[in-house]
Homo-oligomer: A and B are copies of this chain.
Amino acid sequence: MRAAILNGPGDVNVETVPDPGLADSTSVVVEVSHTAICGSDLHLYHGLHGSPGIHLGHEFVGRVVAVGDDVRTLTLDDRVLVSAVIGCGRCAQCLGRNPVRCTSGPRVFGNGLDLPGGQAELVAVPAADTSCRLLPHPVTPEQAVMLTDILPTGYYGARNADIRPGDTVAVLGLGPVGIFALQSAQVMGAARVLAVDTVPERLAHAERLGAIPVDATDGAGTVAAILDHTAGRGADSVIEAVGIDQTISDALYATRAGGTVSVIGANLGMEFAFPMGLAFLRDLTFRIGLCPVQSTWDELIPLVATGRLAPEQVVTHRMALSDATEAYRLFEAREDGVLKVLLDPTR
């Protein structure tokens, strides 16, 4: 089969590799119909971690073409979506749909560790009963791809932010995940979302969705702008969707006393300079975590199915898997108004 392979920083090619088989009796093999490039793929692309020969991609949906003997809930030809994050499938946390709290630890597709990724014609999916969900009517495959990682992640950011109806919520970073956090905050009843970024197109996008755009490059910066919009009090909740130290710090300084900071931007640093005195005097709650994708599906699938959320709207580019090299280049360069790129493995 063909798969997008990363061999070094900036070096992605579509190569022919052996077809995957069933890893064990709880696995299925999925023939991928739609897959996407994620902002976190760029961490690998930039060479931040992992070794050469990485099978990229953790966002994918498709058709079941092989089924292990112990799989109970799936059969051949089922159309499924697959969580980017999976667990052992047997522990109480996995059965309760939280692979991040799996007693064996979470695994992520296509991150260069142990699971080959989904920007490929075929993928082996372990622990299929807890890793997959049947494509629910009338959710489309493009919507379903958004449900494998980034819509859940944005939603989880909002869930972790303790939003109550009437609240003012700030979202820092308006990439696709930030946009989904923004929309999730609206679903949870936020009266106002302050949407912070520096890119005019992203700010305009947020404004079209009903948020108040805040250009972080104006005036005294993000914190001052949020305080200004809240009579000096700070936002009730701040969702950080960038993942760099500066924006996490901004989030802490822009939150009201008693409020919550929720970080969904991946940050693997081990020495963030946390302002403990500020947090103590302001009585803050701080949450950060990898999203347990499966735990969000019961809430998100109906929201997508009924049209309250239309996550496919972030897709700006649809390309062939065979064009993966160009797709990565364009996505990394942020050219052509790119927000989200889908790849078609049949081409």
Contact check, A287 vs B288: say whether CB atoms are below 8 A apart: no
Most chain-B CB neighbours within 10 Å: which of A187, A189, A248, A290? Answer: A189
Select which of B96, B184, B286, B306 is within 8 A of A287 by beta carbon.
B286
How many copies of this chain does the complex contain?
A: 4
Q: Which residues from B are CB-within-8-Å of A279?
A: 288-289
| Inter-subunit contact A73/B100 (CB<8 Å) | no
Count of A interface residues, CB-CB < 8 Å:
66
A256, A257, A269, A298 — most chain B CB neighbours (10 Å): A257
Closest residue of B by beta carbon distance from A160: B285
* Pick from B271, B278, B290: contact of A281, CB under 8 Å: B290
Interface residues of A in 258-299 (CB under 8 A from B): 258, 263, 266-290, 292, 298-299
From the candidates B90, B273, B280, name the one contacting A267 in the complex (CB within 8 A).
B280
A189 touches B187 (CB 8 A): yes
Are A300 and B166 CB-contacts (below 8 A) given A267-B277, A276-B270? yes
State which residues 308-340 of A face B: CB under 8 Å: 308
Across the two chains, which residue of chain B brings its CB closest to A100? B283
Sort A-B residue pairs by CB-CB distance and give the 5 closest, nearest first: A283-B289, A191-B302, A166-B299, A268-B277, A274-B274
